[in-house]
Structure 1
Amino acid sequence: MNLTAILRPVCSAFLLAATLLAAPHAAQAATLPTPSAADNPASHPNFTVRVVGKGQPMLLIPGLTCPGAVWDETVAHYQKQYQCHIISLAGFGGTPAPASTNQLLRNVRDQLLAYIKTQKLQKPTIIGHSLGGFLALWLSSTQPEAAGPLVIVDSLPFLAAVQNPTLTAEAAKPMAEGIRQQMSSGKMTVAAARQMSATMMTDTARISQATRWSVASDPATVAQAYYDLMTTDLRPEVARIQQPVLVLGAWAAYKQYGSTKESTKAIFDQQYAKLPQHQVVMSEAGRHFLMWDDTQWFFSQTDAFLKQNPVARK
């Protein structure tokens, strides 16, 4: 099975190549999120935060090239029950690029943990899509006491090992470096970006929006984020996560490559084998953007999980 065909639906990384367009200045930039009044953006230069709603805290972390607006429907669904902290990573979807991409995802992880602490968020529920799901796993395994229940939307602890479970982070570096260079080559076109988007969602308007976000993203930032994602193995680290985790997976997008629901779920089960409290549930028809593609199923699964795993107030 072709590696690109496997990786493409699991993570929106290949959509990122669309940031390398020949005419990036024509891209439509996304509206920048407004930090909350109590927030100090200088303390977390790698992301901005928009706060909506009241109640228990909830962090929503988007995937590669997507700003926090990817969670608009999710925020509308939860804002009466939760205080939603909507993250937009610097350099994605038209937001200004970070000053440095050195150790990019590690810095995002640390800044998210600092944000939780400084904002005094008591075990926030965290919902993360793709790269956002990876970051949710990473920050939770780094400081298990900091986070509440996790909802991981079509993401894995080690994306590079999808095809070869024995692969190590060190062994993945040459492949990841090659893809990082390819993403910086400027050969991708708008048409190709749209084609990639179409593999990860079904709605035409959504495809157009995702493509706009992709072409508005900063190439250096997304290339480094992808490299970090492909060379960081969290499979042993998730054993430290103390809170319950719901993993929502997609498989329909790569049915054409011979995958089945069972074979895809087996990949998820293997990667999450060391995670103590978790359940993996596969969407029947949704593609990578499950909150868009299988919305009612996404809400029903997440609602039931959060109801079963409430965070006790102090």
Structure 2
Amino acid sequence: MNLTASLRPLCAALLLSATAVMPAAAAAPATTIVADSPAAHPNFTVRVVGKGRPVLLIPGLTCPGAVWDETVARYQKQYQCHIITLSGFGGAAAPASTDKLLLNVRDQLLAYIKTQKLQQPAIIGHSLGGFMALWMSATQPAAVGPLVIVDSLPFMGAVQNPAATAEQIRPMAEQMRQQVSQGHLNATQQRQMAAGMVTDTARITQVTRWGLQSDPATVAQAMYDMYTTDLRPDVARIQQPVLVLGAWAAYKPYGSTKESTAAIFNQQYAKLPHYRLEMSEAGKHFLMYDDQQWFFQQTDAFLKQPGLAVK
């Protein structure tokens, strides 16, 4: 199986994510230091910025927390932003072990919320980060607040075949894991995939750089874990309201329409009790960059709604 060919459907399946860079003229937000014990969460690091209601920002595959810099700059005056960077992504040191990688990330994030005494923080998650937000909420429904899911699904493996099960997907996922872990993608291939996920040329360059700087074994395991974890039945346990922001413009070459892509989202989220789906007209995978004004309008209005906290 050709690696580039095998990864191309992942872009169409909303799987791959990376990071983007802030414009050179924009300064990174100031950091607020809080007591934290990184030894308690070896699979990620946290940067805390701002004051107010706590919000966790979880990035996608291969991206560090810097992907949220513009989002943090907007929200830091009214929210305390806990910006996550997963180990092994975007130049961060790889974890000591990739065994049960995303399961460990889930449990460590939930433990972080408890030890930091965060009262039902909202979570904004992009791609893998959105998947993680859903998993955290389904595991401990009362631990977190409202969710903003940016272009992600409960089960990536079933995008092309809704009847697919995790066991049916596992052989393909294993083959993909083996190939990705070998790190064969070169800069040209990385850039080709990045161009399918983000529009701006400078951001494509940054996406490519972070992908090349990520640890292949960690990326491979994260992809495998996502492909073989089906959260479609589990989202029924989520008590929080959820805003799902979807993209479809990048999938036109695959024959997708706004309606057909929205149908995939609604099918996958069918058991989620309280969600609203909004589809971007112009954005590719990085909606917070390609369709930034729309992204902020949707997120602003959702987070400001009264009564979002779970009782």
Q: Provide TM-score, normalisation by structure 1.
A: 0.90
1:225 to 2:228 alignment: no
- How does 1:4-43 map onto structure 2 within 5 Å? 6-13=9-16, 36-43=33-40
Alignment match of 1:69 (pick from 66, 69, 93): 66
How far residue 13 of structure 1 moved from its aligned partner, in angstroms, is 2.9
- How does 1:269-284 map onto structure 2 within 5 Å? 269-284=266-281
How far residue 182 of structure 1 moved from its aligned partner, in angstroms, is 1.6
1:25 — aligned with what?
Answer: none
2:161 — aligned with what?
Answer: 164
Question: 1 or 2 for the larger relative contact order (CA 8 Å, sep ≥6)?
Answer: 1
CA contact under 8 A between 2:6 and 2:176: conserved in structure 1? no
Against the structure 1 CA distance between its residues 312 and 224, is the aligned structure 2 distance closer, same or farther, given a 3 Å change threshold?
A: closer
Q: Which whole-Å CA distance do the structure 2 matches of 1:4 and 1:257 have between them?
A: 14
Letter in 1 for 2:83: I
1:216 — aligned with what?
Answer: 213
The share of aligned pairs that are identical, in percent, is 72
How far residue 108 of structure 1 moved from its aligned partner, in angstroms, is 0.2
- How does 1:290-309 map onto structure 2 within 5 Å? 290-309=287-306
Letter in 2 for 1:113: L
Alignment match of 1:114 (pick from 103, 111, 116): 111
Give deviations 1:90-117, integer Å, cap 9, x for gaps: 0000000000000000000000000000
Q: Which whole-Å CA distance do the structure 2 matches of 1:221 and 1:311 have between them?
A: 35
- How does 1:1-314 map onto structure 2 within 5 Å? 6-13=9-16, 36-311=33-308
Q: Which whole-Å CA distance do the structure 2 matches of 1:266 and 1:172 have between them?
A: 21
Q: Which whole-Å CA distance do the structure 2 matches of 1:4 and 1:223 have between them?
A: 11
Letter in 1 for 2:121: P
Letter in 1 for 2:182: S
CA contact under 8 A between 2:18 and 2:63: conserved in structure 1? no
Report the 3-state secondary structure (helix = DSSP H, G, I; strand = E; otherwise coil) of the residue aligned with 1:144. Answer: coil
CA contact under 8 A between 1:58 and 1:125: conserved in structure 2? yes
How far residue 57 of structure 1 moved from its aligned partner, in angstroms, is 0.1
How far residue 36 of structure 1 moved from its aligned partner, in angstroms, is 3.7
Give deviations 1:254-299, integer Å, cap 9, x for gaps: 1111100000000000000000000111000100010011000000
Structure 2, unaligned runs of 5 or more: 20-27
Q: Which whole-Å CA distance do the structure 1 matches of 2:275 and 2:236 have between them?
A: 11
Q: Which whole-Å CA distance do the structure 2 matches of 1:163 and 1:302 have between them?
A: 28
Against the structure 1 CA distance between its residues 197 and 313, is the aligned structure 2 distance closer, same or farther, given a 3 Å change threshold?
A: closer
Against the structure 1 CA distance between its residues 55 and 13, is the aligned structure 2 distance closer, same or farther, given a 3 Å change threshold?
A: same
Against the structure 1 CA distance between its residues 15 and 150, is the aligned structure 2 distance closer, same or farther, given a 3 Å change threshold?
A: closer
Structure 1, unaligned runs of 5 or more: 17-30
Cα RMSD between the aligned structures?
2.1
How far residue 171 of structure 1 moved from its aligned partner, in angstroms, is 1.1
Letter in 2 for 1:11: L
Q: Which whole-Å CA distance do the structure 2 matches of 1:81 and 1:313 have between them?
A: 20
How far residue 14 of structure 1 moved from its aligned partner, in angstroms, is 8.0
Q: Which whole-Å CA distance do the structure 2 matches of 1:228 and 1:39 have between them?
A: 27
Q: How many residue pairs are counted as aligned between the two chains?
A: 298
Report the 3-state secondary structure (helix = DSSP H, G, I; strand = E; otherwise coil) of the residue aligned with 1:139. Answer: helix
Larger helix proportion of the pair: 1
CA contact under 8 A between 1:10 and 1:130: conserved in structure 2? no
CA contact under 8 A between 1:5 and 1:257: conserved in structure 2? no
Report the 3-state secondary structure (helix = DSSP H, G, I; strand = E; otherwise coil) of the residue aligned with 1:187. Answer: coil
